[in-house]
Chain A
């Protein structure tokens, strides 16, 4: 393992642990303004959007292969399939298109 990778993982652990730890041993967010609490809870959705686009379109040389696989993932997730089925379905679709075309 490279030293950069090792220290990056340790640092990721530290910056993840600090927000989990501080309120429990030091402070309370009772007096925080509502807008600050609200904005924090919205961060994951914006992050998910940024993680999906535009990255998903660069998965395969043919943009439509990834778009169709993404569509399969949306449908499977929408009908309430478990995580691994959604992931497996998208992989299966991309694999099938690679074999066929």
Chain B
């Protein structure tokens, strides 16, 4: 009886899983260089291969893992790194909530499973599908992306030790080049908003780092940059609205 149930479930779900796995391949290709670079930098930062691969297996979040490496390199405490990870990944609340609205009402177990794989890229692929998004489709996308992320972390770790010394010394810039590579397309897409936010983040972090440890400094810089941007935007938008209202009032009086 139980076996029959599993078999019938398998028949129903496997086409969705396969479709998801196919779509997940594009993410797997995209993750390959990022995971290789992560493994490589993890080695340069002093992590063992087990630590690097375990982090990719357990966390599965590119930006947070890179951030953890740079914080480890700067000597931050474990608590700071965990809290910064939480803050950086809080954005996935919105993504999971958005997927939730379009997803089929699968079992809680299925949803709990694909929630683990809800990276920015998995979300981008899955959320552009028409509703209802099948649980096993998302599981398929996430599984292939996850395999690439974990596998190439290990590959990258060993590639790093094969590189010549001068190259390894130059690798210290890699992390920052990667952040730049992630930021520039966002600037091209979203414009001034990204420049102002990133500029404020960098500026506040530079200031706070003078008297706070790196982890707390990054967190406070981020929170203040986001709050300040929201505040500035509201003041400026309100000012524009007031000016428009004043102009209308003037016109009315002239008439």
Instruction: Give A residues with C-beta under 8 Å from B.
Output: 1, 4-13, 15-25, 27-30, 35, 37-56, 59-60, 66, 69-70, 73-74, 76-78, 80-84, 86-87, 89-92, 94-95, 98-99
Quote the shortest CB–CB distance from A60 to chain B (angstroms). 7
- Chain A residue numbers with a CB within 8 Å of B193 are 42, 45
Q: Mark B90-103, 1 if CB is under 8 A from A, else 0.
A: 11111111111101
Contact stretch, chosen from B19-27, B199-207, B246-254: B199-207
A86 adjacent to B181 (CB under 8 Å): yes
Also in contact, A1 and B51, with CB within 8 A (given A11-B82, A37-B94): yes
Kindly state whether residue B180 has any CB partner on chain A within 8 Å: yes
B81 adjacent to A8 (CB under 8 Å): yes
Instruction: Give B residues with C-beta under 8 Å from A.
Output: 33-34, 36-37, 47-48, 50-51, 54-55, 58-61, 63-64, 66-68, 70, 74, 78, 81-83, 85-101, 103, 108, 111-112, 114-116, 118, 166-167, 169-174, 176-186, 188, 190, 193-194, 197-206, 209, 217-218, 221-222, 225-227, 229-230
A40 adjacent to B91 (CB under 8 Å): yes
Also in contact, A54 and B177, with CB within 8 A (given A23-B97, A41-B91, A49-B200): no
Partner of B90, one of A5, A43, A55, A60: A43
Also in contact, A24 and B94, with CB within 8 A (given A51-B218, A84-B37, A91-B177): no
- Chain B residue numbers with a CB within 8 Å of A30 are 97, 101
Quote the shortest CB–CB distance from A77 to chain B (angstroms). 4
Quote the shortest CB–CB distance from A61 to chain B (angstroms). 11
A12 adjacent to B200 (CB under 8 Å): no
- Chain B residue numbers with a CB within 8 Å of A22 are 93, 96
Interface majority SS (helix, strand, loop, mixed), chain B = helix
Also in contact, A12 and B64, with CB within 8 A (given A23-B100, A49-B202, A83-B34): yes
Q: Can you pick out 12 interface pairs between chain A and chain B where the beta carbons lie within 8 Å of each other? A: A9-B55, A9-B59, A21-B115, A24-B99, A28-B100, A41-B94, A43-B226, A47-B201, A49-B199, A49-B203, A51-B176, A87-B33
B91 adjacent to A77 (CB under 8 Å): no
A56 adjacent to B68 (CB under 8 Å): no
- Chain B residue numbers with a CB within 8 Å of A11 are 78, 82
- Chain B residue numbers with a CB within 8 Å of A52 are 176, 179-180, 183, 198, 202
